[in-house]
Amino acid sequence: MTQDQLAAQTGIDSSNIRSYEGGRATPSIHTLVRIAVALGVEPGSLLEGLTLEHFDPSGRDRRAS
């Protein structure tokens, strides 16, 4: 499925889909569920491998440090 197809299925702007996939933005829980439904997967599967080490409470991405 392309980003544009996912955007059309979820009603989420394609620029937001690209930002989520590129790690430049974080989707809300509601948005994450919409994406999971469109992909036919459990929402938790989209979070596999994500740890607190990926994010700083201040909102800065720790990987960039």
- Per residue in 40-64, pLDDT (tens digit) is 999 999 988 888 776 666 655 545 5
What's the CA gap between 59 and 42, in Å, rounded? Answer: 26
The pLDDT of residue 61 is 53
Global pTM reads 0.76
Query: What confidence tier does 65 reach under pLDDT thresholds 50, 70, 90?
Result: very low
Q: Which domain holds residue 53?
A: 3-64
- Give the position of tokens 């469109």: 38
What's the CA gap between 31 and 49, in Å, rounded? Answer: 19
Say how many domains are in the chain: 1
The CATH number of the domain where 25 resides is what? 1.10.260
In the chain, pLDDT over 70 holds for what percent of residues?
Answer: 82
The pLDDT of residue 19 is 94
The pLDDT of residue 10 is 97
